[in-house]
Structure 1
Amino acid sequence: IIGLSKLGCSTSYIGKIADDEEGDLLEYNLMINDVYLTNLIYAESGNSGKVLGFVSDAGDRALYVDPGVNDEITIDEINPLNVNACKILHYTSFVGDSFNAQKELLKTLSDKSVLSFDPGMLYVKKGVEELKEILERTDILIINEGELKILFEDYYKEKLGLSDDKELSFRDLAVNVRNDGIGTVVVKRGSLGAYAINKKDEEVKIPAFECDAVDTTAAGDSFNAGFLYSYLKGYDLAKSCTIANWVASKSVQAIGISGLPTLDELEEFIESL
């Protein structure tokens, strides 16, 4: 959300905080990055979510999450008028009960709103059947290669009547997911770049940008920001994935979100393409 805001997009965040120091910090960070707070939910009790992150010398990271009240969102706390005013609604994973609110919200979501979905490992472990309601409404699936295989490989082996020893490539899986109704499938492949395919039969493999990674914590979300910005601009898949890779490469060269590029920096990069 902050990545998109820094690129000049009008953004808002659906989340829940408590009246504590962590909640104040979360609210402050959203505010100073020009994210609208109209959809932020304030809990009367409990604690705000916290993430404890560890980053290795190589830039790899491990996260330990206490979601706090952010995992207690109910559908009646979300304003559907605000949600249906958006061009893109982006879903990512919750640890607990807020998953049910996400599914309930789909019932009120306008057909004019695009649903983008990055399930993350928390949701991938739920399996296709539990995610079925979200997947059936998803217009853009953005997922990393490992998660794609975990979520869909056994599912499509069974659906297609394939033997257990038959391996499906990331492309095989992405094509099947696209054919089953998701308009755009984007596979994040880390240092190998990105692959994407859509219902217009655009299909691209875009290499990553070489850089010295300091912190990969925000790499995936930064990629998402670059891709969704490009989608809003109407760029083709090749340009969209190139921009997404570039935004991610800038992000990982600094700690946290401090490396996220500005709109001016992005426009300068686009001019160089």
Structure 2
Amino acid sequence: LSRLGCSTSYIGKIADDEEGDLLEYNLMINDVYLTNLIYADSGNSGKVLGFVSDAGDRALYVDPGVNDEISIDEINPLNVNACKILHYSSFVGDSFYAQKELLKSLTDKVILSFDPGMLYVKKGVEELKEILERTDILLINEGELKILFEDYYKEKLGIDDELSFRDLAVNVRNDGIDTVVVKRGADGAYAINEKDEEVKIPAFKCDAVDTTAAGDSFNSGFLYSYLKGYDLAKSCTIANWVASRSVQAIGISGLPNLDELEEFIETL
């Protein structure tokens, strides 16, 4: 989001080590505000070991370090309530409970965006209920949507038939989340919102080198568009394009900057 010209801060925790210095440096050179970065007195900073196949598919092995030890006392709610959008992603350990506690301090004006990822999807709907009830924008891939919600809605609706990704998204939307966006990889994106906009947007054809940051890149493009007030179709198109740029290079090196994004938007 910062690369796309949005004023961005980050809530996370690092230790006094080489990895922490690198994480801090990468945030700084990308103009991310460090006001909410937490510095641990001991422990180690998080690390991710990534493996990428010749086809661009990836597997990640995570040692979260102190980033999984964030407590609610280390987060300044005044800073959080000063933002337009608060985006939640997933943690392995105790930081999940800090996320839940932080919800109690949020004002209604803060838009909550949530990408649960497989780590949180495996927790199930009941464990995520407090976050889901406060979520305004749900960003989730098709496989995670099915794992998280299919059995839940089969039981709730008293049916045995398989539910499509659209069925699931519509039910989630009807249960109160304003905007539901389903990331479908090579099949593009589907989205529905409280304005009764419903879109299916195809993906951009490209040669994938590394899909590591595809989902988060999509999220950044969508949230940028949301802040700009674009309609759902344009937002998903921009999100797909940002994701397509990301997968054509290793790691996050393919993420576009604001000039590149604005040049693309002019073609729409």
The TM-score bracket by the shorter chain reads over 0.9
Alignment RMSD (CA, Å): 0.4
Asked if 1:198 is matched to 2:193, the reply is yes
User: SS of the counterpart of 1:12?
Assistant: coil
In structure 1, runs of 5+ residues without a counterpart are none
1:1-273 counterparts in 2 under 5 A? 4-162=1-159, 165-273=160-268
Over residues 222-267 of structure 1, what are the superposed CA-to-partner deviations in whole Å (9 max), with x where a residue is unaligned?
0000000000000000000000000000010001111000111111
Structure 1 Cα separation of the partners of residues 20 and 131 of structure 2: 28
2: CA distance, partners of 1:211 / 1:90? 28
Give the Cα separation in 1 of the matches to 2:113 and 2:198: 18
Q: What is the CA–CA distance in structure 1 between the aligned matches of 2:253 and 2:123, rounded to whole Å? A: 32
What is the CA distance between 1:128 and its match in structure 2?
A: 0.1
Shift of residue 42, structure 1, vs aligned partner: 0.3
Question: What TM-score does the superposition give when structure 2 sets the normalisation length?
Answer: 1.00
1:54-95 CA-to-partner distances (Å, cap 9, x unmatched) read 001110000000000000000000000000000000000000
Deviations 1:88-125 (A, max 9, x none): 00000000000000000000011000000000000000
How many residues were matched structurally? 268
- 2:203 and 2:161 map into 1 onto residues whose CA distance is 29
Equivalent-residue separation in structure 2 for 1:131 and 1:222 (angstroms): 23
Q: Deviation string for 1:140-165 (max 9, x for gaps)?
A: 00000000000000000000011xx4
Separation in structure 2 between the aligned mates of residue 40 and residue 265 of structure 1, nearest angstrom: 29
User: 1:161-214: CA deviations, max 9, x gaps?
Assistant: 11xx41000000000000000000000000000000001000000000000111
Paired-residue identity, %: 92
Within 2, Cα distance between the matches of 1:97 and 1:7? Answer: 31
Deviation at 1:217, TM superposition (A): 0.2
SS in 1 for 2:138: strand
Q: CA deviation at 1:16?
A: 0.3
Please report how far the alpha carbon of residue 51 of structure 1 lies from its aligned counterpart in structure 2 after TM superposition. Answer: 0.2
Deviation, structure 1 residue 270: 0.6
User: Cα offset for 1:10?
Assistant: 0.3
Give 1:13 shift: 0.4
SS at match of 1:195: strand
Tell me, in whole angstroms, the C-alpha distance in 1 between the residues paired with 2:167 and 2:194. 15
CA distance in 2, matches of 1:204, 1:99: 32
Tell me the TM-score normalised to structure 1 length. 0.98
Separation (CA, whole Å) in 2 of partners of 1:225 and 1:49? 22
CA distance in 1, matches of 2:157, 2:86: 31
Structure 2 CA distance, aligned partners of 1:32 and 1:209? 29
Q: Secondary structure at the match of 2:266?
A: helix
Aligned residue for 2:148, secondary structure, equals helix
Q: Distance in 1 between matches of 2:172 and 2:29?
A: 38
Q: Which runs of 5+ in 2 are unaligned?
A: none
